Amino acid sequence: DAGVIQSPRHEVTEMGQEVTLRCKPISGHNSLFWYRQTMMRGLELLIYFNNNVPIDDSGMPEDRFSAKMPNASFSTLKIQPSEPRDSAVYFCASSFASGGETQYFGPGTRLLVL
């Protein structure tokens, strides 16, 4: 199994630009999670989906952030417009259990907003 796949691995953009992060979960997993990791705040859950339906988006910082999961094998996290404080590593994780247990993480996307 290829594991969770994320793209791009690195993204450098300027403030105000739109950023789209992509994730392909492990085949057969029915839950998908987006996390953000920073030195100051650690690993934070932004949003998670169960069977392609958003269940909890309370961690999404503000309206500039949006996430979609059009099908079981693809999800996007979009930031528009991006700001320097959005700079972080963004992880996607998936799990077989709808209870969010045993999540498998992707390699992450390192985002730098100048």
> Cβ distance 17 to 30 under 8 Å?
no
Q: Which is nearer to another protein, 86 or 108 (CB)?
A: 108
Q: Which is nearer to another protein, 79 or 93 (CB)?
A: 93
Q: Which is nearer to another protein, 28 or 70 (CB)?
A: 28
The one-letter amino acid at 12: V
CA gap 78, 67 in Å, rounded = 6
CB of 52 to another protein, least distance (A): 17
CB of 34 to another protein, least distance (A): 12
Q: Which is nearer to another protein, 28 or 42 (CB)?
A: 42
CB of 96 to another protein, least distance (A): 12
CB of 24 to another protein, least distance (A): 14
CA gap 102, 54 in Å, rounded = 19
Note if the bond before 25 is cis, omega within 30 degrees. Answer: no
Query: Which residues contact another protein by CB under 8 A?
Result: 4, 42-43, 45, 48, 56, 91, 93, 99-108
Query: 63: exposed, middle or buried (C-beta count within 10 Å: 0-12, 13-18, 19+)?
Result: exposed
